[in-house]
Amino acid sequence: MILSVRDLQVSFPVGRLMQRSAILGVAGVSFDIAAGETFALVGESGSGKTTLARAVNLLQPISAGEITFDGQRIDGLRGATTKPLRRQMAMMFQDPVGSLSPRMQVRDIVTEPFRVHGVQADLRAEADRLLSLVGLSGDFANRFPHQLSGGQARRVGVARAIALDPKLIIADEPTAGLDVSVQGEVLNLLNDLRERLGLAMLIITHNLHVVHHVADRMAVMYLGRFVETGETEAIFQAPAHPYTAALLSANPEPDPDKAKDRISLPAEVPSLLARPRGCEFHTRCPWAQARCTTEAPATQGADRRVACHFPLSPGARPPAIRETAQ
Amino acid sequence: MTVLSIHNLNVTFATEGGELHALKDVSFEVPERRIVGIVGESGCGKSTLINAILGLLADNGRVSGGEILFQGRDLARLAPREMNALRGPQIATVFQDPMGALNPVISVGRQMTNIQYRSGLSKSEKTERAVAMLRRVRIPDPEAALARFPHQFSGGMKQRIAIAMALMMEPALLIADEPTTALDATLEVATIELLQELQAQIGCSVLFISHHLGVIAELCEDVVVMYAGEVVERGTTRQVFHTPRHPYTERLLDCDPARQSSRTRHLPTIPGEIPDLRDRPPGCVFAPRCRRRAPICDTPPPEEAVQSGHLARCHMVTT
Amino acid sequence: MSAAASSTLRSARRILAEPLGALGIFLVVLVIGGAVFADLIASADPNKIAPRDRFLPPSLDHLMGTDQLGRDLFARVLHGGRIALSVALFATAASLTIGIVLGLIAGYGPRWLDNLMILVFDALKSFPTVMLALALVTLFGPSLTAVVVVVVLVNVPGYARIIRTQTLALKSAEFVTAAQSMGAGAGRILRVHILPNVIGPLLILASMDIPVVIAIEAGMSFLGLGVRPPTPSWGAILNDGFTAIRDTPWIAVAGGLPIILTTLGFTFLGETLRDVFDPRLKRRG
């Protein structure tokens, strides 16, 4: 296992002196990533997926739990002691152009890891090598971030991430801000590099279709917890948790005649300050029953895990369907 | 009656590097009570098109040809005061960021009564109307909502309030510019369904701009596909999505990950980039990136009719 | 031509295109030229006392006349330019350096340090300049050093504040987080990622402050708190001419005119610089 996370919690203090409390951004999460594997974290805004990614990358302090990377416990590391680790774990950020320093040329951006870690090398040659690995020609080396398109900036970010041959890459919304016709570029590139360099990847996204093509395994997050984990293909064929089913049905295929078997959820996500009792999804769940309002479900299963009292059987439809036929 | 009719619209911008031809010979119609979608990627000219319709082009931009007929009147030739009178009551807009419509320091209730200033209603009538509208967009506890400020609502709710404000005056045309792009998938679903409902009740026409093909397929009856400032294909959604005839439309549909039913390690893309609009290619604007390119593509392609109502701007349409 | 050189040339052309900008450049060049080539342009010795030539009005021999000690005013004015400009340069450079360092620390460092520094800055800013000058003169005696220290104390809080605000804004920018994720330390981040992105507006502001610096030097010298006689500071000349203004007004003119021209020149230049480099105005075709 390249990465092992156990019972991770991240809490944020809220309120002032007299009324201090805390909200749990990540409320107890466990998963593993094997070397060379791609694992996807799926969730909507407020699910805690970005917080979790930052916590794994030690950019966000954690309040409980363990993180083991390449056999070493890293959750207790602070400050300068994290530096050697950062060569092995690289992160790519959401904003393709915004994550590149505006006044640095591409050549310097992709070779910065060398300078930060004092690795001796012919930096000009390394820059050219890295750029060609991501499919950018040599004359991109002189450009500045504002002279790059979204897709090109994305690829520069990838080049920077792989500069020192990390074991794990964390990609936060790799297709955000990209047009449909170029999304494939980044995903194909990541797949290619993964095969060539044997990288493991942790992908954070809200785009389920991206997940389907890139991830071996995935986890669905809701209010800071995993509600379903398992092999991507299996989950797509037969989602077991109602939230997963709703997410899958919420991504319409571009075909006006496809039957609208949409699972509609009441739109409002509960606030983290007032988590629902029992199963936290029960306020929006079309299948909710009495037990769900009082008792939190245990996570059942080993390789395929679901946190639900009544996991769905394949092809299940919600009890009261709103069919919007055309 | 056609609510909006655009004929051969051309828009140019004067820039440091030369004249930028942002929209070229754009034509399409928005009939009464119809939802028309505009699909395109970055640089296709959607924003320029909306700005041109609303009379909000930047100082260095102008309509260099064609007409924008709204209920018969050419918007491009209207005086600013007349255009002002139309914006709001007749042509309403919803943007990607609801904070573009909502003033952060004024309560929602006051904003909603303020925009009714041309209605001639009394204060209590305006308030009633506001409450009714909020109820229609399913904002919980609408009377209390009036007193609250935008930041006290979630993103999805803010967007619904923006929609309520836009539709309150029952405009003839609603322009929605990527209204759900910033929303999560489950929220997007709810917002689209809401728009459909309201459109049916109010009977307005909707011009819905998005790059999200799935949403367009679900919501829109007609669709216009734009590329680099031109309309490359248009027709009913069924026609265009089931039998795309322009190579760009075909490739665009192929690239949508939702189309890929089985798992693939190699997603299709469209290599290359849109051309520099200060220096448009002499013939078809998509030719440099087109797989089916032939020598004839160096001459400007005509708009060919594929079937009734379905048009594509391509030399190779009948192939 | 490299990208940087050609863009500088383009900017220079833009500045010259504005009438005020052209005038500003002209005046500034005039003043700097006069100071640098003072010995060549005015052959007279600015400190030579000639009692027989006292209070001579402007003439071909003495372009600006002579003062109460018979010294050639034109020569004094040109040499005074050296003082004004060297103070301006040195004091501004010192203020910028100190202000930038403190601002970066305040913006990037821990909250308590930031609060403390803001307190100190605000306290400093609340002192009227003249009082500061008087207080410092008791420490350093009337001298150029006193002038420079006053300028630094007056300018640093404002500069530091600007840098601090920008730094605070950039602290959470994604490219800074990316650098932290890579393992870059605070020093590297401040130097490589933050500083280049915050320094631009400050440089323009500092150039617009040069007239203020010159005025402080002139003012202190006028009050006798700055350079000691016989050094020909413009403020000192103005002081000399002040009492004799009714009968021999040219002395006051000799002192005041260069101050006015220099102030105007740098102000025009600074404002034009600011307009030319304002990214929002750049898009005009």
Residues B248-268 pLDDT 10s: 999 888 888 777 666 666 788
CA C70/CA C53 separation, integer angstroms: 5
- Give the minimum alpha-carbon distance from C126 to chain A in angstroms, rounded to a whole number: 31
Q: Chains A and C: how many Cβ contacts under 8 Å?
A: 54
Cβ distance C184 to A116 less than 8 Å, yes or no, reads: yes
Task: Record the pTM.
Answer: 0.82
pLDDT of residue C7: 67
| B252 closest CB neighbour out of A180, A233, A250 | A180
What's the pLDDT band for A261 if we cut at 50, 70, 90? Answer: low
Q: How far is CA A67 from CA A75, A76, B89, in A?
A: 5, 9, 58
Residue B280 has pLDDT above 90, yes or no: no
Chains that touch C (3 or more CB pairs under 8 A): A, B
pLDDT of residue A321: 45
First-to-last alpha carbon distance for chain B, in angstroms, is 34
Q: Are A227 and A221 in contact (CB under 8 A)?
A: yes
Best of B16, B19, B57 to disrupt the C interface (most C CBs within 10 Å) is B16
CA A140/CA A144 separation, integer angstroms: 9
Q: Which residues 266-285 of C are in CB contact (within 8 Å) with B?
A: 283-285
| B190 closest CB neighbour out of A149, A255, A267 | A267
Q: Look at chain B and count its residues.
A: 319
Q: Chains B and C: how many Cβ contacts under 8 Å?
A: 10
Q: Are B9 and B21 in contact (CB under 8 A)?
A: no
Produce one character per residue of B91-102: b if its CB has 16 or more CB atoms within 10 Å, e if not: bbbbbbbbeebb
Q: How far is CA B182 from CA A295, B45, B134, B252, in A?
A: 34, 20, 21, 21
Count helices and strands (H / E) in chain A.
10, 12
For B287, half-sphere exposure in the C-beta direction (CA atoms, 13 angstrom radius) is 18
Nearest CA in chain A to C183: A83
CA A90/CA A108 separation, integer angstroms: 17
Chain A residues whose CB is inside 8 A of the C182 CB are 86, 90, 112-113, 116, 160
pLDDT of residue C57: 87
- Give the minimum alpha-carbon distance from B112 to chain A in angstroms, rounded to a whole number: 22
* DSSP classification of residue A140: G
**Among residues of chain C, what percentage have pLDDT more than 70?**
94
CA B163/CA B198 separation, integer angstroms: 10
Token duo for residue C57: 């009005």
Token duo for residue C240: 């000399």
pLDDT of residue A325: 32
Cβ distance A254 to B155 less than 8 Å, yes or no, reads: no
Chain C residues whose CB is inside 8 A of the B14 CB are 285
Residue C55 has pLDDT above 90, yes or no: no
Query: Cβ-count burial of C36 within 10 angstroms (0-12 exposed, 13-18 middle, 19+ buried)?
Result: middle
Nearest CA in chain B to A183: B269
Q: What is the mean pLDDT of chain B?
A: 88
Cβ distance A59 to C181 less than 8 Å, yes or no, reads: yes
pLDDT of residue C3: 56
Cβ distance B154 to A262 less than 8 Å, yes or no, reads: no
- The least confident of A178-182, B116-120, B130-134, C13-17 is C13-17
- Give the minimum alpha-carbon distance from C282 to chain B in angstroms, rounded to a whole number: 9
What mean pLDDT comes out for the span A171-180? 85
pLDDT of residue B180: 85
- For residue B27, which phi and psi values (nearest 5 degrees)? -135, 135
Helix residue spans in C127-248 (DSSP H): 129-140, 144-171, 174-182, 186-188, 195-222, 234-243
More confident residue, C178 or B300: C178
Best of C2, C174, C189, C190 to disrupt the A interface (most A CBs within 10 Å) is C174
Most confident of A202-216, B249-263, C159-173: C159-173
Identify which of C214, C267, C281, C260 has the alpha carbon closest to the alpha carbon of residue C21.
C267
| C183 closest CB neighbour out of A86, A95, A102 | A86
First-to-last alpha carbon distance for chain A, in angstroms, is 49
pLDDT of residue A322: 39
More confident residue, C255 or A325: C255
- Give the minimum alpha-carbon distance from C3 to chain A in angstroms, rounded to a whole number: 10
User: pLDDT by residue (tens digit) across B46-75?
Assistant: 989 999 999 888 889 999 999 999 998 899
Identify which of C26, C34, C87 has the alpha carbon closest to the alpha carbon of residue C266.
C26
What's the pLDDT band for C89 if we cut at 50, 70, 90? Answer: confident
Q: Which residues contact C51 (CB under 8 A, 6 or more apart)?
A: C69, C70
Nearest CA in chain A to B243: A255
ipTM value, please give it: 0.86
pLDDT of residue B70: 92
Chain A residues whose CB is inside 8 A of the C193 CB are 101, 104
| A103 closest CB neighbour out of C181, C185, C196 | C196
CA A188/CA A254 separation, integer angstroms: 22
Token duo for residue A25: 């951004």
User: pLDDT by residue (tens digit) across B191-224?
Assistant: 888 999 999 999 999 999 988 888 888 899 999 9
The distance from CA C8 to its chain's CA centroid, rounded to whole angstroms, is: 22
pLDDT of residue B318: 62
User: pLDDT by residue (tens digit) across B2-16?
Assistant: 899 999 999 999 988
Q: What is the CA radius of gyration of chain C?
A: 22
- The least confident of B242-246, C45-49, C248-252 is C45-49
* DSSP states of A79-95: GGGGTTHHHHEEEE-S-
Identify which of C51, C43, C47, C57 has the alpha carbon closest to the alpha carbon of residue C69.
C51
What mean pLDDT comes out for the span A38-49? 89
